[in-house]
Chains A and B, each alone.
Chain A
Amino acid sequence: MASITAVIPRPTSYAGLWGWITTVDHKRIAVLYGVTAFIFLLIAGAEAGVIRMQLASADNDLIGPGRFNQMFTMHATVMVFMVIMPLSVSFFNFVIPLAIGARDVAFPRLNALSYWIFLFGGILMHMSFVVDQVPDAGWFSYANLTEKPFSVNRGLDYWSISLLVLGTSSVAGALNFVVTIINMRAPGMSMMRMPVFVWMTLITSLLLVLAFPVITVGLIELTMDRNFGTHFFIPAEGGDPVLWQHLFWIFGHPEVYILILPSMGVVSEILPTFSRKPLFGYPFIIFSGIVIGIMGWAVWSHHMFTVGLGPVANSVFTITTMLIAVPTGVKIFNWIGTLWKGALEFTTPMLFALGFVALFIVGGLSGVSHAVSPSDFQQQDTYYIVAHIHYVLFGGSMFGIFAGAYYWYPKITGKMLNETVGKINFWLLFIGMNLTFFPMHFLGMNGMPRRIYTYSAEFGWENLNRIASFGYVVLAIGMLVFMYNVWQSRNSRRVGHDPWDAPGIEWSIASPPPPYNFAEIPQVLGRDHYWIVKENAEAAGTPITEPEALVDPSSIHMPSPSYWPIFTAVGVALIGGGLLSHYALSFVGGVIAFIGVVAWSNEPAAAPPKEHH
């Protein structure tokens, strides 16, 4: 067939920068996701630093209200969409195929496309700083503050269009993992033998696929209001600003579980490993995850208790929100049950996992207190809420991510992170986190609203704010220690394939794993497959000391690299970029994306073997 692919064959080189750009290997894509998201973490963390400096004293005028509003908007938007979600996706990418005994995800090129769109979407969002028209209406950007004439520069356009671009990445990625997990499990791995992390990834991905269309509708309506004269959210013209809140939170509450379930999965892998015991109540942990995934759709209006929906609506959402605490509590009992009678080893991943449990309890409890709507009327939009979200997102999600980073780092790189430095890292983050966010509970109850750039000394909020700002410094040092730990690991010696004596299948192969992962697809023996394998080998008198032997990679059929994912992603990003600059550019982007998709679908499954030429 005379197509573009006849002119451009699939690339064959895996080396160098070009190898990374054209890669479709889930392990390399995981590294790309992780590094990119970590850079965004540093940016959003610096924004938090500016916020904490401004609030460190009463009547401070370090930065004005305009800059302050930009800082908290970008801090939260970036942390949610460009840090926690992609860091979780980084783990999905690295761990899922290995944990289910597969050689890659179901759609390797789609996986690469998801990454490149994420990268370009993130860059597009940050272009708002270059033109100094930065989004400034908060991460949930309530209409109609986001409408003209209240927001006249293009900041909110950058926000909505970048999120639309990022959304395509998330949905594509999520579909990929749903298909991978359903279809590509190794023989013997029934659904109820899947590791909990795989289960949580499946639930998260299903939530993503269902939730993102809702926010997409809202974002398109907002973009049309701002640019094409519609009035979905403009009250003066018959629109309704409250509609935005419903759309945002119908997406936004499942999104909260999208942010926390992956970390719950990570912790459910780590606690058994270092307790030397199987996970306590595996089916209860799975079912509670499913229940959370379903009930998560029925609680969105608890973000809107003060909107005035009336006592009937508020009652319903009070009860549903109270009930969702139950499956969350079930998970905590089971994690503690896993520790019970175990032989606990306090490695760094274990410390972070225990830190996750300890801090998530606090966030969960404060969550119950604002599920109760009459009490929430006082807490809504105060620092009490800020404290709560940071206990669940920093103490929860981020601690889970750090636990996972320390746990899988030796598998990803073949080298260990230093355990002593890791423990210092943990304690700095644990103490810093509590110093920063615990006082915020009191600030909220003492009446400090969130999103205020200054406050008067007469309200008595200054001392607690100082403690919080000091805590930020401790957190920042903790982050530097983590970076140092990664940097110093380049010199450390290689470790074996199974440094933690772990139960997961991924630990049976070499570290780092070969491109094809498994020379032979394993026959899964049970929930803690590799523990069973090791035990059987020991019983037979031939304990396992080596990973699965490497084989000639050319003997295993793997998809070749491809130019088209990044090519198509450039087109998608240009469509968004054109909407922000010149519509002609959108057209160019559309053409590029179209060519990319056509070429992609005509590409052969692999590069032709060399001897045929």
Chain B
Amino acid sequence: MGLSPFRRAGSLSSHSASPSKAFSGRQSRLKSRTVLFGLMAAIFLFATGCSMDGMSTWDALGPVAEKQLELFNVLLWAMVAVFVLVEGVLLYAIIRYRKRPGQPKPPQIHGNTTLEITLTIIPTILVLGLGIWSVFTLFDLEDPPTTGPDALHVNVTAHQWWFEFEYPDTGSGKHIITANELRIPVDRPITLSLESDDVIHSFWVPKLAGKLDMIPTHVNEMWFQADSDKIDEALPVTLFGQCAELCGLAHALMRFRVTVMDQADFDSWAAAYGPPPANTEQAKAGQQLFQQNCTLCHTIDGPDDPALSASRLSGFLTGGDITPVPAPNLTDLRTRQTLAAGITDLTEAHLREWLRNPEDLKPGNYMSSRAVLYQGGNASLSDQEIDQLVAYLLDIR
């Protein structure tokens, strides 16, 4: 899906062929063959090496990622041109000037000031040009466009090892806190305030924008937008995100999803946000179990209470074997697609597995190390109790 970055940058490829004009005669044929070979090798490598899958940066679906990719594509072709030119000249020198038997001592040239100055000025102009272009792009991307629809604001907080998404106002006045799945309306700028409450993490959805670090006590602001005309599939579409800064044991398993949806679908998701109804016997038993065992860390009845969050955080930072820790808000767990920060599909079987022993799915997580339930390894819950919890959390009727 998406547009090929190579096709878009194709008009620049003529740059890479021009250097062969500097040579003449037999050498020019050798030279142009080298250039051709280099280009073919490069094209072959790109064709086999680039992927449009999950985390690919080649598949920009919004204006921010697109501008960043545009700049990279220009750089890429400039790099290919310089590579072919310089490696070509190097290869030419290696072949042309190899020592031949009986060859006299070569001319003892010490340098050429005119050439040196020329070869200093040309790259200086080249890199300054690219540098200035980057500066314009930087300032361009600083803020979302002021025309068009209003931005939707999301506060994102990173935790070891999951993401918390808070919508202070979804438009209908609803305050939502959820985890590991960011739902966004299509064609609307999303502004994000990024922070961390433990160590440094980095927020990255390659198809929407480059990354920005999430640093405790620093709030970083970014924005992106998903454009419907760049998305080939029918909405909703799910994109991948992942933490990009080493943040401890489960860094590799700190992933998330971004679901791009129509404004109407987004509104109905927001309207439906609320605790699981618990309207079967099984679920009611699960609800009771949840209240007894899980609420020290997890909230399930709407947005987290800030005072409660603060006490969980201070418990976590103080350490100790069994303390409350910040944990994902589970109010809308039943509407999510994935489990344990985007590492596996949310199915009944996976949730059971997770509740039995979270360490199997996600080594290092704090649920297994800090919760009383798991102090002996596996959960001190019977299979029946786990079934009841699953029925409650996933609203199985």
Contacts and interface: CB of A to CB of B under 8 A. Distances in A.
A186 to B, nearest CB: 22
Contacts of A377: 68, 209-212
Prevailing SS type, chain A contact patch = helix
Prevailing SS type, chain B contact patch = mixed
B206 A275 contact: no
Given A323-B124, A325-B127, A277 B109 contact: yes
Interface in A469-508: none
Contact of A373 (B50, B99, B134, B216): B134
A329 B97 contact: no
A137 B246 contact: yes
B71 interface: yes
Interface residues of B, number: 97
A280 B109 contact: yes
Contact of A344 (B51, B97, B251): B97
A365 B111 contact: no
Contacts of A438: 45
Interface stretch (A81-89, A161-169, A307-315, A561-569): A307-315
A339 B95 CA distance: 10
B212 A464 contact: no
Given A281-B111, A448-B55, A150 B93 contact: no
A361 B138 CA distance: 27
B216 A241 contact: yes
Interface in B158-207: 160, 194, 198-200, 202, 204, 206
B204 to A, nearest CB: 8
Given A242-B215, A319-B128, A323-B128, A343 B103 contact: yes
**Tier of interface size on chain A:** 35 or more
Nearest to B5: A445
Interface stretch (B115-123, B226-234, B346-354, B381-389): B115-123
Contact of A378 (B130, B210, B253, B364): B210
A541 B155 CA distance: 85
A65 B134 contact: no
B256 interface: no
Contact of B212 (A308, A354, A449, A458): A308
Interface stretch (A99-107, A138-146, A414-422): A138-146
A315 B206 contact: no
Interface of B: 45, 49-51, 53-58, 65, 67-69, 71-72, 75-76, 79, 82-83, 86-87, 89-90, 93-94, 97-100, 103, 105-112, 115-116, 119-120, 123-124, 127-128, 130-132, 134-135, 137-139, 141-142, 160, 194, 198-200, 202, 204, 206, 209-213, 215-218, 220-221, 240, 242-253, 316-319, 343, 363-364
Given A150-B248, A339-B90, A342-B93, 5 more contacts: A142-B200, A145-B248, A242-B215, A361-B90, A449-B243
A-B CB proximity, top 6 nearest: A377-B210, A447-B55, A452-B252, A442-B49, A460-B53, A308-B220
17 contacts: A66-B364, A149-B316, A152-B319, A308-B194, A308-B215, A318-B134, A319-B135, A326-B127, A336-B90, A341-B109, A342-B97, A354-B90, A361-B86, A365-B83, A374-B71, A382-B244, A458-B54
Interface of A: 64-66, 69, 137-138, 142-145, 148-150, 152, 235-236, 240-242, 275-278, 280-284, 306-308, 311, 314-315, 318-319, 322-323, 325-326, 329-330, 332-334, 336-337, 339-346, 354, 357-358, 361-362, 365-366, 368-369, 371-382, 438-439, 441-442, 445-456, 458-461, 464
